Amino acid sequence: MHRFYLPPEECRGSALTLTGREAHHALRVLRVRRDERVTVMDGAGTEFLCDVCSADRNTVGLRLVEKKSIPPLPCQVVLLQAIPKGKLIEAIIEKATELGAHRIVPILSERVTTRLDDSSAAEKADKWRLAAIEAIKQCGSAWLPRVDAPMTPKQFLARQEGFDLALVGSLQSDARHPRECLREFKSRHRALPRTVCVWIGPEGDFTPDELRAVQSAGAQPISLGRLVLRVETAAVYCLSFLNYELESVA
């Protein structure tokens, strides 16, 4: 069954309408027809089972058949990802969405080669959000992760956001397996964390000063194994582990 995305404010009532990119995809790529059944997701936990009732050159009219609420994952995982070279950040956002990330924060660390002014940063953020939308349509997630505008580690840390558990991928000798951090948290709190953030550095890793700042803010260095992983592999490794370990929280 084909899936489409509409923001929550466009999903009110028993009649929904696809316009713009979604209508183009439905009409020109998927070639949906009248009476075909499709799924619409609002990215905020609701799925709408709909029948196509009209299809013209620029819009697709849908009739609501059934509405279903999907609970969020038990732990909100925030990926703080240093922006790699080229278009890898889009692939990382797609994989992070598939792995249930609650939020993705692109990080402009000192060793990131990309440099953005306010205008281009906003434009990039919009493009990256579209990558997340395409990912929920592909994987069937009812929850669209928030993709922030790019910021430096200093800017993010200045917000003083609180997380139950903060981790940072590290090549340092004192880095521990992430399972040890989870076991320690569970032993201390008699529960698994409900909010986790994980920092992944760029090619060449964070600078020593950046690592000190991140760890001073409470992030625990974790090892991703004996091998040095590419940026995109490190992100998938961490999110896969956290998804597996935390999805069973009641």
* Residue of 45, 46, 47 whose CA lies nearest to 72: 45
Domain boundary pick from 22, 43, 69: 69
The conformation of residue 110, written as its DSSP 8-state character, comes to T
Please identify every stretch of the chain with a pLDDT value under 50, giving residue numbers as ranges. 249-250
What is the DSSP pairing of strand 37-41 with strand 3-5? parallel
57 shares its domain with 81 = no
Is there a single domain that holds both residue 112 and residue 85? yes
Q: Please indicate, yes or no, whether residues 53 and 132 belong to a single structural domain of this protein.
A: no
182 and 126 share a domain? Answer: yes
- Secondary element (H or E) of residue 244: helix 231-246
Closest of 10, 1, 8, 2 to residue 143, by C-alpha: 8
125 and 217 co-located in one domain: yes
How far apart are alpha carbons 78 and 101 in whole angstroms?
Answer: 6
What per-residue confidence (pLDDT) applies to 160? 94
Spatial separation of the C-alpha atoms in residues 235 and 217, rounded to whole Å: 21
Global pTM reads: 0.91
pLDDT on residue 112? 84
The amino acid that residue 9 corresponds to is E
Q: Which CATH number fits the domain that encloses residue 195?
A: 3.40.1280.10
Among 162, 218, 164, CA closest to 191: 164
Contacts of 159 (CB under 8 A, 6+ apart): none
- Residue 249 pLDDT: 47
What CATH code is carried by the domain that includes residue 59? 2.40.240.20
The Cα 186–Cα 249 span in angstroms is: 11
183: containing domain? 76-246
First to last CA, the chain: 30
Q: In what order do the strands lie in the sheet with 46-55?
A: 3-5, 37-41, 46-55, 60-69, 15-18
Model pLDDT, residue 111: 86
- The whole-number pLDDT of residue 173 equals 84
Residues 227 and 127 in one domain: yes
CA pair distance 198, 138, nearest whole angstrom: 24
pLDDT of the residue at 117: 67
One DSSP character per residue, 129-178 reads: HHHHHHHHHHHT-SBPPEEPPPB-HHHHHHT----SEEEEE--STT-B-H
Are 82 and 47 within one domain?
no
| One domain for residues 194 and 120 | yes
- The Cβ of residue 244 has, within 10 Å, a number of other Cβ atoms equal to 10
